Structure 1
Amino acid sequence: MIDIFGTLGPSCSDEATLKAMFEAGMTGVRLNLSHSMLADNLDTINMVKSAAEKVGVKPLILVDIQGPELRIGDLETELQLSEGQEIVIGKNGIPVDFRIFENIHPGIELKFDDGKLAAVVSSCSDDYALATVKRGGVLKSRKSIASDDFDIEMPTLTEEDHINIKCAAENGITGIMQPFVRGREDVATLRNELHHCGADDIRIYAKIEDRRGIDKLDTIIEESDEIIIARGDLGNAVPLYDLPGVQKDIAGRCTEIGKPFMVVTQMLASMEHSPVPTRAEVSDIFNAVLDGASSVMVTGETAVGEYPVEVIRYMKKTIESAEKYKNKL
């Protein structure tokens, strides 16, 4: 059976909606811990368990930890950035890790929020930089910041990750989604942490999100319990037109040795505001099943979208159709 994961958020924050999602075919949920702590979400976790139990489902509960991704700090308010606008990064501006200033120079492009926003540095010093917005939008706290021109080494686990992993071990979490896995060592570090917490039964879902993950895929496959083809950041690491081929390659290498893998990101993105998906989206899901995916996941579609139950229903029906077709081959 292919697992269907929905991401928790405001659109599915009540038990009735969660129950309907489980009835429609959802088998598990994802809680994103980029902006909050697991301890602050235990009421939601208990609500998930209650909703699932009422329809006879034993839910898989995954937490997506912070990991080594570089992020901006906390903003007082959301920032509306417009193309051509000059912004300050660092001192008296957008808060960032100080190591950024050791790696930037005029002309470098900075990408925010998985590349949704971008700005080009015009000048910089030891603790701040000026940049001109190239691609505008709304910038929120704790969103990612990256560049193709630098690679800042961050620790495998943050202080918040250590706290959240201990909490996960104590509250029935079934899996940890580990972001930006760079090699076997990252997964081994998380596994050791789980062992230290007495949580050897928690599965590790290693997210492949950049070229380092692609390059070390074979060792990551060996160490992890499941691979996640995380197409959001992966689509920034490689040209978008190459992304389908990269996905196929990862899927093929997992299938070859029997390692489960998950496909995630924008699977039904149009359904954040539409009750029906596009033809391309259902084809995407259908092909993920044909490629051997063991699970699929939606993110904003259920977290903030207008039709969370319909999203799960379309996901389930498309999977059933693809499995039926696959059995004829």
Structure 2
Amino acid sequence: MEYYGTLGEACNNVEILEKMFDYGMTGIRLNIAHQSLSEASLTIGRVFKAAKSQGIKPELVIDLMGPEQRIGDLTRPLELKEGHKIKIGIGEDIPIRRVTLETFRVGQELLIDDGKIKLEVLKLTEGVPKGGAKGDKQVMAAVCRIIRGGRLISRKNITVSDAPSDFSTLTEQDKKQLKLVHQYGVTGVMLPFVRGAGDIQLLKEELRKNDADDVRIFAKIENRAGYEHIGEITQLCDMIVIARGDLGNAFPLWELPKIQKEIAQVCHREGKPFLVATEFLHSMEKSPVPTRAEVSDIYNAVLDGAAALMLTGETAIGEYPVRAMRYLVKTANTALMTSDPHIKELLDLP
């Protein structure tokens, strides 16, 4: 069983990382959308130093940007209140790339930060872009109503309802990072929003160009296209990632457990290992103890046959990264040691 944390301010410390490895962490994820390999070089050094002190050769997995859409950098965190209005666009309160803005339509729902924040597009406003001709008007912003508020920080993901999914598989930033995988000891690459076999083929070709065929490919299933083409995706990647954050935006939330189980079943049938991620111990970003539902979620993911589990915000920005890793590993190990003969047979446990 593999256990992953996610790098961030909360665990950017050798002593904390040592404790996480000591409790059973086997690898760590770096989200390229927040920090490039070169920007995270000191942090990566701390990871390898901490792992060495515990006698562990760690997995280092980078999560590419891919076709995933995100907001830009905010000047400060925003507290969004239900019923209020806010602008999202070029140089606005919530900055966004033009390629994303161009998919906006009046009446659309915008889900930000794995759906924690929900906006409705009320109006699109036009203007002349910087350096453009006087008559060259383009959509510059969207006026939105806040349907579900919350605290918003920079570079959170955004899902646009009914928007086309023809964004590039790899961004230029992704390609730059792939050239550096061996230099920084990267062992795996996560590709977000995989839509089909073609996306994996493009990543394989890019890795081949950089003599990095030995780097594992983690295919993140987090949209309808990926779910519908899961069979062909399993044939080309090394591991499927059931990324429940955006997957929970692509389907009604009450259907998410069913979708998770179905993906797991396909992986079993195809003999493909899978990793489950997102909000296993979300409450532990603030609380030293998880909820009963959270530990049950971990236990059931293991009984479903997961080969790997991953924490995200719990270790990146949470207040209790070490405790969170301890609860993840201990709960999963309890599931692995289950005394139920039927489950043992199902999971091929000794």
Tell me the TM-score normalized by structure 2: 0.90
The gaps in structure 2 that reach 5 residues or longer are: 126-138, 343-350
Distance across 1 between alignment mates of 2:314 and 2:166 = 32
> Is residue 109 from structure 1 mapped to residue 89 from structure 2 by the alignment?
no
CA drift at 1:134: 1.1
**Match of 1:111, as an amino acid?**
L
CA drift at 1:153: 1.8
Query: Does the C-alpha gap of structure 1 residues 124 and 25 become closer, same or farther in structure 2, counting only changes over 3 Å?
Result: same
SS in 2 for 1:51: helix
Distance across 1 between alignment mates of 2:58 and 2:340 = 27
Distance across 2 between alignment mates of 1:69 and 1:27 = 26
Distance across 1 between alignment mates of 2:195 and 2:277 = 19
Q: Kindly indicate whether the alpha-carbon contact (under 8 Å) linking 2:239 and 2:274 is maintained by their aligned counterparts in 1.
A: yes
Q: What is aligned with 1:55?
A: 54
Q: What is aligned with 1:4?
A: 3
Q: What is aligned with 2:277?
A: 264
SS in 2 for 1:127: strand
Query: Does the C-alpha gap of structure 1 residues 102 and 306 become closer, same or farther in structure 2, counting only changes over 3 Å?
Result: closer
Q: Which moved more, 1:208-217 or 1:105-114?
A: 105-114
Q: Kindly indicate whether the alpha-carbon contact (under 8 Å) linking 2:234 and 2:270 is maintained by their aligned counterparts in 1.
A: no
SS in 2 for 1:153: coil
Q: Kindly indicate whether the alpha-carbon contact (under 8 Å) linking 2:104 and 2:160 is maintained by their aligned counterparts in 1.
A: no
Question: Counterparts of 1:170-249 in structure 2 under 5 Å?
Answer: 170-249=183-262
Query: Does the C-alpha gap of structure 1 residues 129 and 169 become closer, same or farther in structure 2, counting only changes over 3 Å?
Result: same
CA drift at 1:152: 4.4
Q: Deviations over 1:21-76 (max 9, x none)?
A: 11111111111111221111111111111111111111011111111012222332
> Is residue 166 from structure 1 mapped to residue 165 from structure 2 by the alignment?
no
> Is residue 124 from structure 1 mapped to residue 124 from structure 2 by the alignment?
yes
Question: Counterparts of 1:295-310 in structure 2 under 5 Å?
Answer: 295-310=308-323
**Match of 1:33, as an amino acid?**
I
Q: Kindly indicate whether the alpha-carbon contact (under 8 Å) linking 1:100 and 1:152 is maintained by their aligned counterparts in 2.
A: no
Distance across 2 between alignment mates of 1:266 and 1:119 = 22
**Match of 2:26, as an amino acid?**
T
Q: Which moved more, 1:48-57 or 1:132-141?
A: 132-141
Q: What is aligned with 1:37?
A: 36
Distance across 2 between alignment mates of 1:257 and 1:312 = 30
Distance across 2 between alignment mates of 1:92 and 1:9 = 27
Q: Give the number of aligned pairs.
A: 328
Query: Does the C-alpha gap of structure 1 residues 318 and 91 become closer, same or farther in structure 2, counting only changes over 3 Å?
Result: closer
SS in 1 for 2:180: helix
**Percent identity between the two aligned chains:** 48
The gaps in structure 1 that reach 5 residues or longer are: none
Q: Kindly indicate whether the alpha-carbon contact (under 8 Å) linking 2:103 and 2:160 is maintained by their aligned counterparts in 1.
A: no
Query: Does the C-alpha gap of structure 1 residues 319 and 101 become closer, same or farther in structure 2, counting only changes over 3 Å?
Result: closer
Question: Counterparts of 1:57-96 in structure 2 under 5 Å?
Answer: 57-93=56-92, 94-96=94-96
Distance across 2 between alignment mates of 1:267 and 1:119 = 25
Tell me the TM-score normalized by structure 1: 0.95
Distance across 2 between alignment mates of 1:76 and 1:122 = 24
Q: Kindly indicate whether the alpha-carbon contact (under 8 Å) linking 1:99 and 1:152 is maintained by their aligned counterparts in 2.
A: no
Q: Which moved more, 1:226-235 or 1:167-176?
A: 167-176
Q: Which moved more, 1:276-285 or 1:88-97?
A: 88-97
Distance across 2 between alignment mates of 1:211 and 1:38 = 30
Distance across 1 between alignment mates of 2:321 and 2:161 = 34
Query: Does the C-alpha gap of structure 1 residues 74 and 309 become closer, same or farther in structure 2, counting only changes over 3 Å?
Result: closer
CA drift at 1:92: 4.3
Distance across 2 between alignment mates of 1:91 and 1:51 = 42
The Cα RMSD (Å) is 1.5
**Match of 2:107, as an amino acid?**
G
SS in 2 for 1:213: helix
Q: What is aligned with 1:20?
A: 19
**Match of 2:112, as an amino acid?**
F
CA drift at 1:321: 1.2
Query: Does the C-alpha gap of structure 1 residues 15 and 137 become closer, same or farther in structure 2, counting only changes over 3 Å?
Result: same
Query: Does the C-alpha gap of structure 1 residues 180 and 59 become closer, same or farther in structure 2, counting only changes over 3 Å?
Result: same
Distance across 2 between alignment mates of 1:215 and 1:326 = 35
Distance across 2 between alignment mates of 1:307 and 1:271 = 6
**Match of 1:90, as an amino acid?**
G
> Is residue 285 from structure 1 mapped to residue 298 from structure 2 by the alignment?
yes
CA drift at 1:327: 6.5
